């Protein structure tokens, strides 16, 4: 096919998780409930935190932001996939693909940075408990979230501006169920050297610094726990970190699994199937992890449901 320098009428073909027509209803029946559970579960977390004054603390402020980002994250990819399955179509226009790439990078990056901020919050709470309310004041909490948004918006915008200069062939096939930047660069008809360099540098910076921050925070937390003489105090302090540790392990574990699977296997289906774990499963499990492992959230959720049932 001949490369096109214009974008009007340019379309890509998303191959999805399977090209077997008989599997499409199964995939639709699987992903629609998962999407609804993810959205409703995270909305419930946000409503629970906002409706209970006992949860108006930095820890739950960051959790409500994480839940909001997870809703947006899963809404970036799954609705388009469900529409394509239902309409028996694989098309996505150039601007639609560009928009999907942009918002996917924003919300994936925000998940990453918010988990780092939450690790810092637990570090201050356990290592500096007497100064916690002074350090983690509302102004700093809002500032930290705004900085996360600013960093990710800027990095994502840079990728999109560089992507705009590339040329593509109409009808180019993308072996995925959504437009992922790394795969888009592989199917481009023009030179992607600068794009790849920026992608590698941005990925390295946005992974190395957050992971380093999380590891440092928990190394200090463990050090503080070891100095505590009371077993009950150790358990109480560490229990506040349990949910966050589970979410961090799930997020980075599934993300690492995607890139390991794509590098080890030669099958074009390996990466999309592995991507389901961190694009769908992880946002879906986060509300359950924070609800089941957190007595405060369970209590607030019970009070919220009781008020909802008692309303005439």
Q: For the segment 73-124, what is each residue's pLDDT rounded down to a tens digit?
A: 999 999 999 999 998 888 899 999 999 999 999 999 999 999 999 999 999 9
Question: SS3 of 176, please?
Answer: coil
pLDDT at 312: 56
Per-residue pLDDT averaged across 49-53, rounded? Answer: 88
Answer whether 39's CB lies under 8 Å from 295's CB: no
Question: SS3 of 265, please?
Answer: coil
The distance of Cα 304 from the centroid of its chain, to the nearest Å, equals 26
Is 21's pLDDT higher than 60? yes
Is 306's pLDDT higher than 50? yes
Q: Given pLDDT bands bounded at 50, 70 and 90, which one contains residue 263?
A: low
The distance of Cα 42 from the centroid of its chain, to the nearest Å, equals 12
Phi, psi of 172 (to 5 degrees): -65, 135
What is the share, in percent, of the chain residues with pLDDT greater than 70? Answer: 91
pLDDT at 40: 94
Residues 6 or more apart from 7 whose CB is under 8 A from it? 94, 95
DSSP state of 245: H
- In the structure, how many helices (H) and strands (E) does the chain have? 11, 3
DSSP state of 129: G
Phi, psi of 203 (to 5 degrees): -65, -40
pLDDT at 268: 54
Is 1's pLDDT higher than 60? no
Pick from 55-59, 167-171, 201-205: least confident: 167-171
pLDDT tens digit sequence for 217-235:
999 998 988 887 777 777 7
What is the share, in percent, of the chain residues with pLDDT greater than 90? Answer: 49
Is 264's pLDDT higher than 70? no
> What's the rounded Cα separation, in Å, for the pair 124 and 132?
6
> What's the rounded Cα separation, in Å, for the pair 166 and 3?
10
Contacts by 248-252, CB closer than 8 A, 24 or more apart = 248/115, 248/119, 248/214, 250/282, 250/285, 250/286, 250/289, 251/111, 251/112, 251/115, 251/278, 251/282, 252/211
pLDDT at 160: 95
Question: SS3 of 206, please?
Answer: helix
Pick from 29-33, 117-121, 308-312: least confident: 308-312
Question: SS3 of 48, please?
Answer: helix
Answer whether 59's CB lies under 8 Å from 138's CB: no
Q: Exposed, middle or buried by CB within 10 Å (0-12, 13-18, 19+), for 189?
A: middle
Answer whether 70's CB lies under 8 Å from 34's CB: no
pLDDT tens digit sequence for 173-187:
888 899 989 889 999
Selected residue with higher pLDDT from 11 and 120: 120
DSSP readout, 52-86? -GGG-SHHHHHHHHHHHHHHHHHHHHHHHHHHHHH
pLDDT at 155: 94
pLDDT at 290: 83
Write out the two tokens for 312. 């005439």
Full set of structural domains in the chain with CATH? 11-310 (1.20.1070.10)
């Amino acid at each position: 096919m001949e490369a096109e320098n214009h974008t009007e009428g340019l379309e890509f073909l998303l191959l999805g998780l399977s090209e077997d027509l008989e599997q499409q209803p199964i995939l639709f029946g699987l992903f629609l409930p998962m999407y609804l559970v993810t959205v409703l579960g995270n909305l419930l977390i946000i409503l629970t935190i906002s409706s209970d004054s006992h949860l108006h603390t930095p820890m739950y402020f960051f959790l409500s932001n994480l839940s909001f980002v997870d809703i947006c994250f899963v809404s970036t990819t799954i609705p388009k996939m469900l529409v394509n399955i239902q309409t028996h179509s694989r098309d996505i226009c150039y601007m639609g693909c560009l928009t999907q790439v942009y918002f996917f990078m924003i919300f994936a990056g925000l998940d990453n940075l918010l988990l780092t901020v939450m690790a810092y919050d637990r570090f201050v709470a356990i290592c500096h408990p007497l100064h916690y309310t002074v350090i983690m004041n509302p102004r700093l909490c809002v500032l930290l979230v705004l900085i996360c948004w600013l960093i990710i918006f800027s990095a994502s915008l840079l990728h999109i501006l560089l992507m705009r200069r590339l040329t593509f062939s109409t009808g180019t096939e993308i072996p995925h169920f959504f437009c992922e930047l790394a795969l888009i660069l592989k199917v481009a008809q023009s030179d992607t050297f600068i794009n790849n360099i920026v992608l590698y540098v941005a990925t390295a910076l946005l992974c190395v610094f957050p992971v380093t921050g999380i590891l440092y925070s928990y190394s200090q937390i463990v050090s503080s726990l070891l100095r505590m003489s009371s077993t009950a105090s150790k358990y109480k302090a560490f229990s506040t970190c349990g949910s966050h540790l589970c979410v961090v392990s799930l997020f980075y574990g599934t993300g690492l699994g995607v890139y390991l699977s794509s590098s080890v296997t030669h099958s074009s289906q390996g990466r999309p199937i592995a991507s389901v774990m961190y694009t769908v499963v992880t946002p879906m499990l986060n509300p359950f992890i924070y609800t089941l492992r957190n007595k405060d959230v369970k209590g607030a959720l019970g009070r919220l449901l009781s008020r909802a049932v008692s309303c005439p």
